[in-house]
Amino acid sequence: MAFDFDMIQRVYDGFGERVEAARQVVGRPLTLSEKILYAHLSAGIPQKAYNRGKDYVDFAPDRVAMQDATAQMALLQFMQAGRPQVAVPSTVHCDHLIQAEVGAVQDLENANNKNREVYDFLSSISDKYGIGFWKPGAGIIHQVVLENYAFPGGLMIGTDSHTPNAGGLGMIAIGVGGADACDVMAGLPWELKMPKLIGVKLTGKLSGWASAKDIILRVAGILTVKGGTGCIVEYFGDGADSLSATGKATICNMGAEIGATTSIFAFDEKMADYLRTTDRADVAEAANAVRQYLRSDDEVYADPATYYDQVIEINLSELEPHVNGPYTPDLAWPLSKFAQAVKENGWPEKLDVGLIGSCTNSSYEDLTRAASVAQQAISKNLKTHSEYTVTPGSELVRYTTERDGLLDTFEKIGGVVLANACGPCIGQWARHIDDPNRKNSIITSFNRNFAKRNDGLANTHAFVASPELVTAMAIAGSLTFNPMTDKLTNEAGEEVMLDEPQGIELPVNGFAVEDAGYQAPAEDGSGVQVVVSPTSDRLQLLESFKAWEGTDLTGLKLLIKAKGKCTTDHISMAGPWLKYRGHLDNISNNMLIGAVNYYNEKTNTVKNQLTGEFGEVPAVQRAYKAAGIGSIVVGDENYGEGSSREHAAMEPRFLAVRAILVKSFARIHETNLKKQGMLALTFADPDDYDDIREDDTIDILGLTEFTPNGQLTIRLNHADGTTQEFQVNHTYNETQIEWFKAGSALNLIKQKQNA
């Protein structure tokens, strides 16, 4: 079940009838996202309209994609569901576990040695259940999906928050947790709240140093990390049609940074070109045949404010290159203002490392534009002052860019070509730095720049920009360098300027590859053995979580009141912990170790209410669990933003945390908590956050009447004997309440299967 043209044709065959029916029930012209969503209702032909931002809807995705760090837990869960084969085409991509240290060949060999057990598990379980397996070194999930599987009008879920990358080929692609992937692979519907829609109208045309990356960096500045929450961002306008498919993918990829459910562009000639060049002319033709369904209706484009919940307009002809950061991807600086910002904020001006590539920016176009800058360092006799790394997104891109001399150009200016993998983007970077505590700056063409994300070092100031700008700054060795206005002094002492980058959208001689790294599953996998050693510290078979006891939850201890930003990286850190992604007990030792304790402003130091001593968060929670006491975690706004990893939900569940109470949730994390049978609650009045004290014992009341749209009550039992009550909200629907009662969504699947 790898590339499946018949499946795509089936989707297109049913598209027209479903979209026409949707127009009838909705009673107005439709946007592209609405067409795709209504064409993928699990109930078939649309019978009613759904309210955006309100109604939960069951969908039937066409595909599932999983990366190796999240696939382990997704497939351990799938094993529990007891199904013989996956119900929809699914793939596993080995990209997250390869550490960047020396260079591609050696790093890949080291990863194969270090992660052998995990790769063998993923390979054999894929073989057994009919899942396509992309070996280590084959590439990064989103690039490989774009090159092989994404198709206009499709609906895909992926166990990675940058799954929306496939929106560059007109697909609705949404990042989910492993539990959702497990449901869909088991043939169950996939539930999503009907998203709201943000329209981004692009006019004009990019030129000079401005690139597709700068569009999303600008959008991130406008909408901030929360602005896309619960929304699909649809790009349209002449400017949209002028962008390459891979440029569109870069924009959709980074929609995750504004919290968007996904982002999408309408089918156009650029997409058809990309499909043809990646050996899918049949898909391009099939899409062309249903073209009117793969774009919004004309009325929408004529009057976007009527059909979208919010509309933003950006004139590409006036767009400046941007640099965003540090520490958050929505701190957007037009290049002309950036040098001043660096100086005023005291960020280290010296640039230690420039890193290009990753799933966000390693298309042929990206690498040719960056190489055109690198080539000037050679021809203009410039020395490269920063370290410089290049991460190709796939073997297809790597092989082709090597053939066309681009990698050689990067190496000539001192670039190190890393494996086709995530590497420094996800903290898998054995960075060579003289003093790890030194304040320092790096700039990447990646998508995220939370503290410690790339190298685990708190004093690293990470910025994001386009690959060509990263390359220019790496040559200059300075964050304050603006290639549009500033000169550089070359080795002969002459002052020179860098010319504007030149890119080639698609390789003139086509893509080429010797071994793309794909392994097809067995025709009949029933005899394939999946081995998990009971003594493994990397993999652990799962046991079911306990069902709800049927009563209110009382006597819960406050584990931590987290202050400020608490992303999934804070809840379940990546970097060195990635290796435990298949072992729930071991990875639970990183639970919330990055969250800042409101009371002492420290990370990983909380009061153990049983002893009065301070201890590490996981250790204190294990003490509560051993004593048979539940606990509660309190958080701030947009709790759980960032990645889709369900470990951030499973770890507290495994360690007997009973509820997460916050001012607001990031969507994926909230769903993940629900799937694992956890209570995910929000303050009805955010000011109640201030009333929670460090020594509180907390009761959750009203669970016996737990209903959709209802509220629950929190009772704080303060140490001084006083009590306080307030209401909390939730977004559970009927099914999700059943998950809670059964102990998890998976428990409910099993119950139904055995019924």
Cis peptide before 326, with omega less than 30 degrees from 0? Answer: yes
Residues at the interface with ligand SF4 (CB under 6 A)? 95, 140-142, 160, 162, 358-359, 422, 425-426, 446-447
Q: Could you tell me the smallest distance in angstroms from the CB atom of residue 95 to ligand SF4?
A: 6
Q: Could you tell me the smallest distance in angstroms from the CB atom of residue 393 to ligand SF4?
A: 8
- Collect all residues with Cβ–Cβ distance below 8 Å to 467 and sequence separation of at least 6: 213, 356, 357, 361, 362, 366, 367, 369, 370, 445
The residue type found at 320 is: E
**Spatial distance between the Cα atoms of 452 and 425, rounded to a whole number of angstroms:** 10
**Chain position carrying tokens 């306990």:** 546
Tokens describing residue 432: 């060579």
Bridge partner residues of 139 (DSSP): 394
- Collect all residues with Cβ–Cβ distance below 8 Å to 605 and sequence separation of at least 6: 597, 614, 615, 616, 617
Bridge partner residues of 198 (DSSP): 233, 310
User: CA torsion, points 112, 118, 120, 125, in degrees to nearest 10?
Assistant: -150
**Spatial distance between the Cα atoms of 148 and 140, rounded to a whole number of angstroms:** 12
Strands (DSSP E) found in 316-365? 322-324, 332-334, 351-357
- CB-nearer residue toward ligand SF4: 145 or 488: 145
Q: Could you tell me the smallest distance in angstroms from the CB atom of residue 362 to ligand SF4?
A: 9
- CB-nearer residue toward ligand SF4: 446 or 740: 446
- Say how many C-beta atoms besides its own lie within 10 A of residue 319's C-beta: 22
User: CA torsion, points 611, 617, 623, 624, in degrees to nearest 10?
Assistant: 90
**Spatial distance between the Cα atoms of 461 and 470, rounded to a whole number of angstroms:** 14
Bridge partner residues of 92 (DSSP): 66, 133
3-state SS track over 230-262: CEEEEEECHHHHCCCHHHHHHHHHHHHHHCECE
CB 688 within 8 A of CB 561: no
- CB-nearer residue toward ligand SF4: 358 or 368: 358
Q: Could you tell me the smallest distance in angstroms from the CB atom of residue 427 to ligand SF4?
A: 9
Q: Could you tell me the smallest distance in angstroms from the CB atom of residue 642 to ligand SF4?
A: 10
Q: Could you tell me the smallest distance in angstroms from the CB atom of residue 423 to ligand SF4?
A: 8
**Spatial distance between the Cα atoms of 197 and 215, rounded to a whole number of angstroms:** 18
- CB-nearer residue toward ligand SF4: 268 or 330: 330
- Collect all residues with Cβ–Cβ distance below 8 Å to 600 and sequence separation of at least 6: 614
- CB-nearer residue toward ligand SF4: 447 or 736: 447
- CB-nearer residue toward ligand SF4: 286 or 422: 422
- CB-nearer residue toward ligand SF4: 355 or 374: 355
**Spatial distance between the Cα atoms of 742 and 753, rounded to a whole number of angstroms:** 14
Closest CA to 169 of 258, 244, 79: 244
**Spatial distance between the Cα atoms of 667 and 663, rounded to a whole number of angstroms:** 13
Q: Could you tell me the smallest distance in angstroms from the CB atom of residue 658 to ligand SF4?
A: 31
Q: Could you tell me the smallest distance in angstroms from the CB atom of residue 155 to ligand SF4?
A: 20
Residues with active-site annotation: 95-96, 160, 448, 643, 645
Tokens describing residue 736: 């999700």
- CB-nearer residue toward ligand SF4: 429 or 683: 429
Q: Could you tell me the smallest distance in angstroms from the CB atom of residue 450 to ligand SF4?
A: 12
Q: Could you tell me the smallest distance in angstroms from the CB atom of residue 290 to ligand SF4?
A: 30
**Spatial distance between the Cα atoms of 392 and 404, rounded to a whole number of angstroms:** 14
- CB-nearer residue toward ligand SF4: 127 or 160: 160
DSSP classification of residue 412: H
> Maximum Cα–Cα distance for the chain, whole Å?
80
**Spatial distance between the Cα atoms of 268 and 48, rounded to a whole number of angstroms:** 30
- CB-nearer residue toward ligand SF4: 122 or 425: 425
